[in-house]
A and B are shown apart, each in its own frame.
Chain A
Amino acid sequence: MAETTTAERNEAAAEIWVSGTEAPEVSEWMAASTDEGAQEMGRRETPDRAVEQRGARVVDDWVIDDAVADDERMMVNMGPQHPSTHGVLRLNLELEGEIVRRIKPVIGYLHTGMEKTAETLTFLQGPTNVTRMDYLAPLHNELCYSLAVEKLLGVDIPPRAQAIRVLMTELNRVSSHLVATATNGMDIGALSMMMYGFRERELILAFFEKTTGLRMNHNYIRPGGVAADLPDGWEDDVEEILDRIPKAMEDYEDLLKENSIWKGRTKGIGIITAEECLAYGITGPTLRAAGVDWDLRRSQPYSGIESYDFDVVTGRRGDVYDRYRVRIGEMLQSLRIVRQAAETMPRGDYKTGDRKVSPPPRRRINESMEALIHHFKIYTEGFKVPEGETYTAIESPRGELGCYLVSDGGGRPLRMHTRGPSFSNLQALPIMMADSLVADTIACIASLDPVMGDVDR
């Protein structure tokens, strides 16, 4: 499948990204590898070899040459029910012995039509829907959707609501990266990492449950602010998280960082260059591990995240090991943001005072007729959003999470489209795994950290 060998791409990886360069050559073989006309990858036709035998041209399939070698290729189906495919990812592999020659992701097994559903929900009900997309980073989905609605509405969000949003989404980033690192470990055989990662994640989820009422699918960040203020004693919970997770991460470092088996399984595996990442729209830790210093939190900040100090973690080689290092680094940076957000948490409202957008407090309903009307209107027909269209993007743990929202001036979106980072990132698989070993498939998938809810939506 690939004219470019891994060694050549290693060389290319050394030259980091020049903006506005010509289209990469990889596009041709990528395109050539998926031309079967159905979602599944078909066998490649073996050309009949006409050979000269005693003066006559006959079709001979006995000749030991490339045609026969092609015949040895085996089509293997992996998934969708495979423990290491992180949900219901299905891969068609064409193997030659132990080497993957072609690969094609087949997706859609978790497609639930959330974009269609969003058209039937009011803007206030929307976060309930989008939070189920990327179920490892539900708060990011809610934030992205809410920011898009707020952009069309033009409402101001109070500082406390913004700080709560930053605090919660950065904690969510840590919990998501913990799962990514844990499952990455499990897939390659470091089973302890699985236990450790999920143990620490539980700390964060317990805090989420206390704050939002649910461990996942929170529906906490809503257009206009957040659903509820932080609970009493939240400082202690955050302090405990900030105290325990860095200590636990020292364990992970002892376990994996210099582990020779781990390094053997991850270093130099699944390389993707910066140029390929840009060409294929691959974002997030995969892009940063390839050496591109790009993070929407810093480049196009949202929710006042620019007021906190943090570094963008990048790698150099773009292999599985670098992606693992980038995630570890990002967890520490996110905890840094969480600490600053907790220390500087402003006082004030946790949602906007605009009564056309955010429901009035419960106690006001008994006192004020207007409050009752607003309450009733918002929860039945929803608030009206001015006509317009916007694309809003934030940095989710998996990359650029975008929300394209179109309103026709009514109470429901005319169209809501989510740009799932996992969806675009899946296109990296055929590049990463060109001519690699079957066993490395697992490492590559885990390092991409796809969430199928985000891919299929």
Chain B
Amino acid sequence: MSGEAAARPAAPEAAGEPPAADDLLAGLLAAAPGAEAGVSAGDDVVRVGPEGLAKLAAAAREAGFEMCSDITAVDYLGKRRVRFELVVNLISLRRNRRLRILVPVPGDDPAAPSLVSVYPGANFLEREVYDMFGIRFEGHPDLTRILMPDDWEGHPLRRDFGVGAVPVQFKEAHQVY
């Protein structure tokens, strides 16, 4: 081992500015009309409609949330009035903070703005959500299936998509009876 393992005792938040908790969130809320801040199991959460998501994400990036670590969705079929909820997890390395954006997306013709232009890493993540839930991301450069085959029918992680009740489909698997 060599100097590459140099001791780096200072945590990022110790080196940078102190976390300005409420100012930061207030700034984000001002950027996106209709956004509401909350706390869920100790994490900062912002709820916003699909129309405000792009603005909120852009403002979050400006505010120092450099990385979009995860995008996923939940299907609340039969549990909530608005069927889908898009979940965007952002992280700020400098402030050592996380922020979760929750976006309700209606069940008929689900669509949300793509975040690829703000966070390029959203590319694969949004493709996965599209593949699994059928939520379209407007403005995504390459919105194709990513885990399932191209010609798969349906979106497997929707709650009305049964487990194991589906004939296995594979591309170019011609039936030869």
List of A residues within 8 angstroms of B69 by Cβ: 281, 283, 393, 400, 402, 419, 424
Contact A427 B117 (CB under 8 A): no
Q: Which residues of B contact A81 (CB under 8 A)?
A: none
Q: How far is the CA of A111 from the CA of B148 in the complex (A)?
A: 7
Using Cβ atoms and an 8 Å threshold, which residues of chain B touch A282?
121
A117 to B164, CA, bound (A): 10
* Chain A residues whose C-beta falls within 8 Å of the C-beta of B144 in the assembled complex: 37-39
Docked-complex contact B12 and A294, CB < 8 angstroms: yes
Contact residue among A32, A292, A402 (Cβ-Cβ distance under 8 Å from B70): A402
In the complex, B62 has a CB within 8 A of chain A: yes
- C-alpha spacing A423/B126, complex, angstroms: 12
B residues in contact with A424, CB < 8 Å: 69, 121, 124-125
Tell whether A340 is near chain B: CB-to-CB under 8 Å. Answer: no
Whether A308 is near chain B, meaning CB under 8 Å from some CB there, is no
- Contact string, B54-73, partner A, CB cutoff 8 A, digits 1/0? 00000001111011111010
- Which of A35, A39, A294 touches B141 (beta carbons < 8 Å)? A35
In the complex, number of A-B residue pairs with CB atoms less than 8 Å apart: 177
Cβ-defined contact, A31 with B72, below 8 A: no
Whether B75 is near chain A, meaning CB under 8 Å from some CB there, is yes
| Cβ A108 vs Cβ B4 within 8 A | no
A72 to B41, CA, bound (A): 57
Minimum Cβ distance to chain A for residue B25 (Å): 16
Main secondary structure of the interface of A (DSSP, over half): mixed
Asked if B87 is at the interface of the complex by the 8 Å CB criterion, the answer is yes
Residue of A nearest to B89 (CB): A391
- A20 to B94, Cβ gap below 8 A? yes
Q: Is B150 an interface residue (CB 8 A)?
A: yes
Q: How far is the CA of A388 from the CA of B93 in the complex (A)?
A: 26
B residues 124-159 touching A (CB-CB < 8 Å): 124-125, 128, 132, 141-142, 144-150, 156-157
Give A7-35 as 1s and 0s: 1 = Cβ < 8 Å from B's Cβ atoms.
00000000001011101101100111011
Find out whether the CB atom of B93 lies under 8 angstroms from the CB atom of A419: no
Which B residues touch A311, using CB under 8 A? 5-8
Whether a CB of chain B sits under 8 angstroms from the CB of A156 is no
Q: A34-B141, A314-B8 are in contact. Are A27 and B147 (CB under 8 A)?
A: no
Q: Which B residues between 1 and 36 are near A, CB-CB below 8 angstroms?
A: 1-2, 4-8, 11-13, 16
Contact (Cβ within 8 A) A404 B4? no
Q: Within 8 Å CB of B156, what residues of A? A: 113, 116
Chain B: minimal CB distance from A90 (Å): 12
Q: Does B141 contact A419, Cβ atoms closer than 8 Å?
A: no
A116 to B69 CA separation, bound complex (whole angstroms): 21
Is A120 part of the contact surface with B, judged by Cβ < 8 Å?
A: yes
A352 shortest CB reach to chain B, Å = 18
Partner of B5, one of A26, A115, A332, A427: A332
- The closest CB in chain B to the CB of A405 belongs to B41
Within the complex, the shortest CB–CB distance from B68 to chain A, in Å, comes to 6
| Complex Cα–Cα for A116 and B75 (A) | 12
The answer to whether A299 touches B4, judged by C-beta atoms less than 8 angstroms apart, is no
B43 at the interface (CB under 8 A from A): yes
Q: Does B74 contact A (CB under 8 A)?
A: yes
A residues 277-302 with Cβ under 8 Å of B?
278-283, 292-294, 298-300
CA of A419 to CA of B98, assembled, Å? 15
Check A314/B70 contact, CB under 8 A, given A116-B157, A404-B87: no
In whole angstroms, how far apart are the Cα atoms of A393 and B128 in the complex? 19
Residues of B within 8 A of A457 (CB): 147
Knowing A113-B156, A294-B93, A424-B124, the reply to whether A404 touches B72 (Cβ < 8 A) is: yes
Identify which of residues 232-261 in chain A touch chain B, using a CB-to-CB cut-off of 8 Å. none
**Docked CA distance A365–B63 (Å):** 56
Nearest-Cβ distance from residue B83 to partner chain A, whole angstroms: 13
Asked if B121 and A19 make an inter-chain contact with CB atoms under 8 angstroms apart, the answer reads: no
On whether A27 and B5 interact (CB within 8 A), knowing A20-B63, A283-B69, A391-B100, the answer reads no
Q: Once the chains bind, are A312 and B89 in contact (CB under 8 Å)?
A: no
CB distance from A47 to the nearest CB of B (A): 20
**Bound Cα distance from A280 to B161, whole angstroms:** 31
| C-alpha spacing A15/B100, complex, angstroms | 29
Q: Is the CB of A329 within 8 A of B5?
A: yes
Residue numbers in B under 8 Å from A417 (CB-CB): 70, 72, 87
A356 at the interface (CB under 8 A from B): no
Interface flag for A333 (CB, 8 Å): yes
Q: Which residues of A contact B169 (CB under 8 A)?
A: none
A325 to B2, CA, bound (A): 9
A151 & B120 in contact (Cβ 8 Å cutoff): no
- CB-based closest 8 A-B pairs: A281-B121, A31-B141, A19-B94, A27-B120, A280-B121, A34-B142, A108-B147, A419-B70
Q: Add 6 more A-B contacts to A311-B6, A417-B87 (CB < 8 A).
A: A27-B116, A34-B142, A298-B11, A311-B8, A419-B69, A424-B124
Offer 17 A-B interface pairs, CB within 8 angstroms, sorted by A: A20-B62, A20-B63, A20-B64, A23-B117, A34-B142, A39-B145, A108-B148, A280-B121, A281-B70, A294-B12, A294-B93, A313-B5, A391-B89, A404-B70, A406-B74, A408-B79, A419-B89
